[in-house]
A = this chain, B = another copy of it.
């Protein structure tokens, strides 16, 4: 983002006014549109609010912008000559459509991360730079490329990657499948989007875990689905709950994350897995099995997925590279009956005309390379180290304030805050102190939970991050009491 030049002879306010005038003339802010508040713009540009006040005054004197008390500062409509010209009412257009905006908490977190790159990040559900196989991927990218065709690819995805996944799924997850049963997606998010948009209709009822990552996804509501809860205890969901939801609400599908569930970190117990498949096949009910974390099992023997015991094709299995290699590659996959794969591939063509072959090639090469196993070993041991570290620091900094279940895999620690606390206030206090996390209510849980991701922050920042969090928590509790 542009910032004023403090070494220039031109005053800061004048630089800001010139930049804004240019942005307005380029159409970034059309006539009638709302400009950032003085405080917000000052934050973004790293200047005093008074400097922005001067810049806005300058533009106002030129008739470029108008301020009215209570409705903020807008680009002037009248400057544009005597003929009646109308900019489309973009604000109203942006409110249209079927798409709900992301949750306010998630947007707040994204903005905070953008504005302060030095903030200690316990919020982003991804791997730190030192956990991703960066050297390995760079080495693969540096191998001689001799692609001879750069055209549109098969709608199901790049064939060599599908072939590599057939071997990968058999060896690492006990899933027997074929290339034609695999759809390559840009990640679990796209897999879920395709399922909710193309296999379900508005008004359909679905069962999701409680708490669950699914609550953080407005895509379920955007698709007009009715959500019903399957409470997660320390052994996962209870299969019998499905039967009663089915009877009462005619649910059409269930979404399950059986291994190191996000956010709770729990494992679905063996006997419940069997029971779940039995109930599903008895009711003819599909299971969407989201399985991003299995391979992070710290002890190295990941639990078998439901899909590996799915004799009759009830399970749509979703996997991805994001949590075990690099989220920036944007490569995931789905295993499903051929008719489903064909339908979703056809719909995806209409949304984005398929994926780039470049990251798919990198992913296929990485999976089949000698880098893969050593990377996974290193990932597992580093995650275990970070998990132990965050727990050690929590025990030191705030043993009386939080409770948690120790996860055996995954990227997250799910914590209950023992005294009741308002999570909006806690988040504000944490951001002020330079640390960020995801409030539990994002996952449909009550306000006294937080998800602390220990995979994303640098190891050397974990102690400081937890100290800051503890301080934020104490100060929030003090103000409340």
**Residues of chain A at the chain B interface (Cβ within 8 Å):** 1-2, 22-23, 25-31, 33-34, 80, 84-91, 93-94, 96-99, 101-102, 107, 110, 114, 124, 126-127, 129, 132, 134, 137-138, 141-142, 144-155, 176-181, 185-187, 189-190, 193, 197-202, 204, 217-219, 222-223, 252, 281-286, 310-315, 325-331, 335, 337-340, 342-343, 346-347, 349-359, 362
Is the CB–CB distance between A129 and B149 below 8 Å?
A: yes
Is the CB–CB distance between A87 and B284 below 8 Å?
A: yes
Is the CB–CB distance between B356 and A330 below 8 Å?
A: yes
Main secondary structure of the interface of A (DSSP, over half): loop
Given the known A-B contacts A187-B352, A352-B330, are A26 and B181 also in contact in the complex, defined by CB atoms under 8 Å?
yes
CA distance A356 to B328 in the complex (A): 5
Q: Which residue of B lies closest to A86 (CB)?
A: B284
Is the CB–CB distance between B352 and A189 below 8 Å?
A: yes
- For the complex of A and B, the 7 pairs showing the least CB-CB separation, nearest first, are A30-B313, A86-B284, A150-B326, A330-B356, A150-B328, A27-B313, A97-B198
Q: Which residue of B lies closest to A114 (CB)?
A: B154
Is the CB–CB distance between B337 and A193 below 8 Å?
A: no
CA distance A347 to B199 in the complex (A): 20
Query: Residue among A190, A285, A327 with the most chain B CB within 10 A?
Result: A327
* Residues of chain B with a CB closer than 8 A to A337's CB: 27-30, 33, 90
Is the CB–CB distance between A312 and B145 below 8 Å?
A: no
Question: How close is A113's CB to chain B, nearest CB, in angstroms?
Answer: 10
* Residues of chain B with a CB closer than 8 A to A80's CB: 311-312
* Residues of chain B with a CB closer than 8 A to A85's CB: 281-282, 311-312
Is the CB–CB distance between B142 and A352 below 8 Å?
A: no
* Residues of chain B with a CB closer than 8 A to A25's CB: 176
- Which of B126, B218, B355 is in CB contact (< 8 Å) with A350? B218
CA distance A2 to B163 in the complex (A): 11
Question: How close is A277's CB to chain B, nearest CB, in angstroms?
Answer: 10
CA distance A94 to B346 in the complex (A): 11
Q: Which residue of B lies closest to A155 (CB)?
A: B110
A-B contact sample (6 more), CB < 8 A, given A98-B201, A101-B347, A219-B351: A23-B178, A27-B177, A94-B199, A190-B351, A352-B352, A356-B358
CA distance A93 to B326 in the complex (A): 32
- Which of B1, B134, B285, B331 is in CB contact (< 8 Å) with A147? B134
CA distance A124 to B180 in the complex (A): 23
CA distance A197 to B110 in the complex (A): 23
* Residues of chain B with a CB closer than 8 A to A202's CB: 98
Is the CB–CB distance between B353 and A190 below 8 Å?
A: yes
Question: How close is A20's CB to chain B, nearest CB, in angstroms?
Answer: 11
Query: Could you give 9 example pairs across A and B, Cβ below 8 Å?
Result: A23-B180, A30-B312, A90-B313, A96-B200, A96-B201, A97-B198, A102-B346, A193-B352, A358-B362
* Residues of chain B with a CB closer than 8 A to A102's CB: 346, 349-350
Is the CB–CB distance between B350 and A99 below 8 Å?
A: yes
Is the CB–CB distance between B351 and A189 below 8 Å?
A: yes
- Which of B96, B180, B218, B326 is in CB contact (< 8 Å) with A1? B180
Q: Which residue of B lies closest to A154 (CB)?
A: B114
CA distance A142 to B114 in the complex (A): 31
Is the CB–CB distance between A199 and B96 below 8 Å?
A: yes
CA distance A259 to B179 in the complex (A): 41
CA distance A121 to B282 in the complex (A): 48
- Which of B31, B127, B353 is in CB contact (< 8 Å) with A330? B353
- Which of B127, B177, B223, B313 is in CB contact (< 8 Å) with A31? B313
* Residues of chain B with a CB closer than 8 A to A357's CB: 328
Is the CB–CB distance between B199 and A327 below 8 Å?
A: no
CA distance A354 to B328 in the complex (A): 9
Is the CB–CB distance between B96 and A181 below 8 Å?
A: no
CA distance A325 to B199 in the complex (A): 35
Is the CB–CB distance between A26 and B199 below 8 Å?
A: no
* Residues of chain B with a CB closer than 8 A to A355's CB: 186, 330, 356
